[in-house]
Amino acid sequence: LPSALATTVYLAGDSTMATGGGGSGTNGWGDYISSYLTSGTTVSNQAVAGRSARSFTREGRFNTIASDLSSGDWVIIEFGHNDGGSLTPTDDGRTDCPGSGAEICYSEYDGVNETILTFPAYLENAAKLFVEKGANVLIASTTPDNPWETGTFVYDPSRFVAYAEEAASAEGVEYVDHGAYVASIFDSLGETEVDAFYPVDHTHTSVAGAEVVAQAFLKGVVCAGLGFEKLLSTESFEGSCL
């Protein structure tokens, strides 16, 4: 294909998106969107297990994507599972500075004094970087842990869901409430089927679970009428628009 017609979709996230998931036969949803995309579209899954918006930034992974992409490509950013916790008494290198604005924290991690930003700030900086390179950016909200874990369906979005939406709004990029779409579909599928999607723990999905989580993301894209929709080869996905 002429390069003008070929589009790469880069994925930035954690184990819930990554190839190989959290290990032990689990997998992330990022490996399952390519079958629903047009023939000229390639997915480059750069998600890495255990990463937060902070550690993905510190390790230069956003910068690597920025240097690899071409104008017109897409970047999907989804974090939140590893961004919580506390910087004290021990900094795990993943925890972001509390807050949703320009707050700054200082901490020593791995022998280096680090200036730590808030979750939205890391996402906004990444989005800005990609947009400057001519890419399209879509920020997705954190996917839920198994909402059927207690035997009763409970979806209680973490603060990182609202933070993701704030970051997308601040930078004028696209947003999908992926967490809400996953929760909605998991609610309708019921406890038995959804429990089977979590063979190891309440966070990491099986291949079958990852496929459903991927479809939930694409359902959110279609329902929101986003620009990313033009890369889809189908618009028929399970579930209702929220």
Token match 């954690």: residue?
Answer: 14
Active-site hit among 14, 15, 177, 178: 15
**Which residue, chain included where needed, has tokens 């959804």?**
194
User: Residue type at 95?
Assistant: T
Q: What is the pLDDT of residue 4?
A: 53
Cα–Cα distance measured from residue 218 to residue 41, given in angstroms and rounded to the nearest whole number? 15
* Residue ranges in the chain whose pLDDT is less than 50: 1-2
Catalytic residue among 141, 184, 204, 206: 204
Return the pLDDT at 1: 47
Q: Is 15 a catalytic residue?
A: yes
For the chain, which domains are there?
Answer: 7-231 (3.40.50.1110)
204 is catalytic: yes
- Report the alpha-carbon distance of residue 213 to residue 40 in Å, rounded: 23
DSSP calls for 72-92: T-EEEEE--TTS-S-SSS---
Q: Which residue among 67, 70, 86, 201 is the active-site one?
A: 201
148-178 pLDDT, tens digit each: 999 999 999 999 999 999 999 999 999 999 9
On whether the pTM is more than 0.95, the answer is: yes
Q: 219: which DSSP letter?
A: H
Q: Six-digit token pair at 149?
A: 């874990």
